Amino acid sequence: MPIGDTIEIDLSRGIIEKREGDLALVRDYVASKGTGTRILWDRVPPEVDAFAPESTFIMSAGVLTGTLVPGANRLCIVYKSPATNIHCYSSVGGFLGTALKRTGYDTVIVSGKSDTPVYLYINDDRVELRDARHLWGHDTRQTESLIRKELGDQAEVLSIGLAGENKVLFATAEHGAGDCAGRGGFGALMGDKNLKAIAIHGTKDIPVADTERLFDICNYILSRTHGARKGILDPAGYTFVRTFLRWADFRNFGGIVQSPEFQEEIKNSGPLTQAFIERTREREVACANCSLRCKHAYRNTDGTYVYHKCAGFYYAMFTSQILKPEFSLACKTLFERYGLDIYSTGDSVAFAIDLYEKGILTREDTDGLHLEWQNPDVYLALVHKIARREGIGDVLANGTYRAARQIGKGAERYAFTAKKLELHMNKIYHRYHMALSSAVCDRGDMTKLDSGTAGQMPRRPLSEREAYIKDGWFHYPDSYKKYFLEEGADAYGNSSIEAQASYNSYDMEQYTLADLSGICMFWLEFWMWPTINSRAMMADLMTAVTGLEIDEAEATRIASRVISLVRAYSVREGLRRQDDFDSVPKHTFEREPRPPERKLEPDTLDQLLDKFYEIRGWDRQGIPTAANLEELDLGFVREDMERRGILEGKS
């Protein structure tokens, strides 16, 4: 079967080693997040700090990446996050993954710290560390174009900007048309290693095992993309505007309270934003082999271009309370160039303004800057300070969790994080599936579990749900139809505990398979219309490409293995049930929802967690049991955990 080779790089000693791909690893973990986590388990135990020289990250392409499979382009980067101190991974789109596959390698292991700035260049068989002193201090777009001048236009580049160089704990690594390793601070890890960029150019064939089978499935998938497109966006941008309004409402329940006037302004700004999008959006742009093209190119007033996708468009608008889309574009441009996570940065700035308003931060703390909402100069000044770690920016650059503890004076109350990561977007958690997604998500960022079907469908009329099944969009096992058709969901779409926990658990497997295969999650059920719509199809695709017989049951087993391994990794770092529980912000239990919506009670969350852990084979603390680990061939994990006294109960 076609498997790629592995490169191992020690930045401290400048050593590059190559070795053949490991078939056993592929059988058990497939690729990507699976392989990466397996390697991370051995290399980065709790004794190794995220910023220690021994700290290692693993880049691994999805097993379908670069083949004909639509949307299969992901490159997964697995590491211990310096922000959350637990397992973290970033799934990078664009053309990095396909480029890596074409070099003949599919996994790259990087450890150590370089004395001076370097960048890694993988050019087919030639792998080298090149001097990057002349690139240090340049923004991500400049870095990419300078590297392409050196290496040629074909090189695909992932680079950090000032934020990564300064180890801002939510720094990103950026690539091409608006893609990045976004959440969890991978940019800071690169910066700490003095690794300015990774450039890849490959010219080799990407072979597949069973050609006819693959081609047929791909044709079928393409014939159904209208479903996913319908969910993601429509040409006029109406979905975005509508969604924007909904989120705006959500945000009101959040920590950063918006005035009624502002709420009103939000409502009125919908049409304006839409008109702006129609005027300014120049192109729909896509990652490799993707027909969904969810990224949009916008022209800035200075003639440069910036790429936006999904919720990112609105984040600066929310967190600044400046409802001008042109401001949002300017911010996105800045974030991208500095290499800053759009969500964590927005939250951190808003957090600072919020604290200032409450008197917890004063002018003395802010170098004389008077912080206020709706002031573009203040917002941008804070972004600059964060990226450069200047003044208050040096504190905020540690993320709101740590910043709140550094600032003290009750600031903790206003920091909303899940496992130390700023909470993305929806700050209302009365929806069971969102609460549970946020609670059990492996990196604290729920987006990868935000199941459209579980969340939206139950409150739709029965006839609509029946039609959904009839039209072939229902991708859960047949046994789930009873949940799907069950009556009695509340105004949030909450149905029974068992139903919601089952959906979440199944979705977690499905998204894990997406990661292993390298398929962008937008092709799955994220927006309710899953073009790649069954476990069987995922298994078929993997089989066709690898030639290994992976059936539905085996795919599920592999996904379960990876999920338990990831969980065990973070448990070994100290993660427990309470961290899951606290990933649903407390104000969920404090604030009253609007009737007829019902409040999520702490007790309900507990029941959801119990059920979810039970389905996954974990104990009441959310720790995979010895039996679960054995069953999934994770004996080495069980031994390690027992040695550390984590598995006492042996339940």
C-alpha to C-alpha distance for 528 and 550, rounded to whole angstroms: 25
Strand partners, 130: 119
C-alpha to C-alpha distance for 279 and 282, rounded to whole angstroms: 8
Contacting range for other proteins; rule: CB under 8 A; set: 62-70, 268-276, 329-337, 493-501: 62-70
Which of 577, 566, 576 has the alpha carbon at shortest distance from 605? Answer: 577
Q: Is residue 365 at the binding interface for other proteins, with CB under 8 A as the rule?
A: no
Closest separation in Å from C-beta 218 to other proteins: 9
| String of contacts with ligand SF4 for each residue 491-520, x by CB under 6 A | -----------------------------x
Q: Rounded to 5 degrees, what are φ and ψ at 477? A: -60, 155
Q: At what angle do helices 342-357 and 312-320 cross, to 10 degrees?
A: 10
Amino acid at 205: D
| String of contacts with other proteins for each residue 307-336, x by CB under 8 A | x-----------------------------
| String of contacts with other proteins for each residue 479-518, x by CB under 8 A | ----------------------------------------
Q: Is residue 287 at the binding interface for other proteins, with CB under 8 A as the rule?
A: yes
C-alpha to C-alpha distance for 309 and 305, rounded to whole angstroms: 13
**Residue 522 near which of other proteins, ligand SF4, none (CB within 5-8 Å, type-dependent):** ligand SF4
C-alpha to C-alpha distance for 30 and 589, rounded to whole angstroms: 41
Q: Is residue 68 at the binding interface for other proteins, with CB under 8 A as the rule?
A: yes
How many residues make up the chain in this entry?
651
Query: How far does CA 398 lie from the centroid of its chain?
Result: 19
Please count the residues of this chain forming the interface with other proteins, following the rule CB under 8 A. 39
Q: Is residue 413 at the binding interface for other proteins, with CB under 8 A as the rule?
A: no
C-alpha to C-alpha distance for 373 and 386, rounded to whole angstroms: 17
| String of contacts with ligand SF4 for each residue 45-84, x by CB under 6 A | --------------------------x-x-----------
User: DSSP character for 433?
Assistant: H
What ranges make up the beta strands (E) of 275-392? 281-285, 295-299, 305-309
Beta strands 118-123; 126-131: pairing state: antiparallel
Q: Is residue 522 at the binding interface for ligand SF4, with CB under 6 A as the rule?
A: yes
C-alpha to C-alpha distance for 61 and 432, rounded to whole angstroms: 33
**Residue 66 near which of other proteins, ligand SF4, none (CB within 5-8 Å, type-dependent):** other proteins
Asked if residue 91 lies in contact with residue 74, where contact means CB atoms within 8 angstroms, the answer is yes
Task: Tell me which of 66, 187, 339, 346 binds other proteins, using CB under 8 A.
Answer: 66
CA dihedral over 584, 612, 451, 94, signed as positive or negative? positive
Closest separation in Å from C-beta 207 to other proteins: 5
**Residue 70 near which of other proteins, ligand SF4, none (CB within 5-8 Å, type-dependent):** other proteins
Contacting range for other proteins; rule: CB under 8 A; set: 8-16, 107-115, 201-209, 452-460: 201-209
| String of contacts with other proteins for each residue 289-308, x by CB under 8 A | xxx-x---x-x---xxx-x-
Task: Tell me which of 62, 82, 93, 339 binds ligand SF4, using CB under 6 A.
Answer: 93
CB within 8 A of 511, min separation 6: which ones? Answer: 448, 449, 521, 524
Beta strands 105-111; 5-10: pairing state: parallel
**Residue 93 near which of other proteins, ligand SF4, none (CB within 5-8 Å, type-dependent):** ligand SF4
Q: Is residue 212 at the binding interface for other proteins, with CB under 8 A as the rule?
A: yes
**Residue 212 near which of ligand SF4, other proteins, none (CB within 5-8 Å, type-dependent):** other proteins
Footprint (CB under 8 A) of other proteins, residues 100-119:
102
Closest separation in Å from C-beta 24 to ligand SF4: 30
Q: Is residue 173 at the binding interface for other proteins, with CB under 8 A as the rule?
A: no
**Residue 300 near which of other proteins, ligand SF4, none (CB within 5-8 Å, type-dependent):** none
Task: Tell me which of 38, 141, 167, 475 binds other proteins, using CB under 8 A.
Answer: 141
Footprint (CB under 6 A) of ligand SF4, residues 238-297:
286-287, 290, 292-295
CB within 8 A of 29, min separation 6: which ones? Answer: 35, 37, 38, 516, 558, 561, 562
Instruction: Give CA separation, 109 vs 16, 74, 379, 620, in Å.
Output: 10, 17, 38, 35
Q: Does residue 113 come out as left (phi exceeding 0), alpha (psi in the -120 to 50 range) or beta?
A: beta
Closest separation in Å from C-beta 221 to ligand SF4: 13
Beta strands 87-92; 75-80: pairing state: antiparallel
Q: Is residue 206 at the binding interface for other proteins, with CB under 8 A as the rule?
A: yes
**Residue 102 near which of other proteins, ligand SF4, none (CB within 5-8 Å, type-dependent):** other proteins
Rg (CA), the chain: 23
**Residue 211 near which of other proteins, ligand SF4, none (CB within 5-8 Å, type-dependent):** other proteins
Q: Is residue 284 at the binding interface for other proteins, with CB under 8 A as the rule?
A: yes
What are the structure tokens assigned to 93, written together?
Answer: 């789109």
Q: Which is nearer to other proteins, 305 or 589 (CB)?
A: 305
What are the structure tokens assigned to 536, written together?
Answer: 């069987």
Beta strands 87-92; 105-111: pairing state: unpaired
Q: Is residue 527 at the binding interface for ligand SF4, with CB under 6 A as the rule?
A: no
Q: Is residue 183 at the binding interface for ligand SF4, with CB under 6 A as the rule?
A: no
For 476-514, give one letter per residue: b (16+ CB within 10 A) or e. beeebeebbeeeebeebbbbebbbbbbbbbbbbbbbbbb
Contacting range for other proteins; rule: CB under 8 A; set: 39-47, 276-284, 316-324, 532-540: 276-284
Which of 20, 95, 38, 24 has the alpha carbon at shortest distance from 518? Answer: 95
Provide the binding-site residues for ligand SF4, judged by CB under 6 A. 71, 73, 93, 286-287, 290, 292-295, 520, 522
Provide the binding-site residues for other proteins, judged by CB under 8 A. 66-68, 70, 95, 102, 141, 145, 176-177, 203-208, 211-212, 214-215, 222, 225, 282-291, 293, 297, 299, 303-305, 307
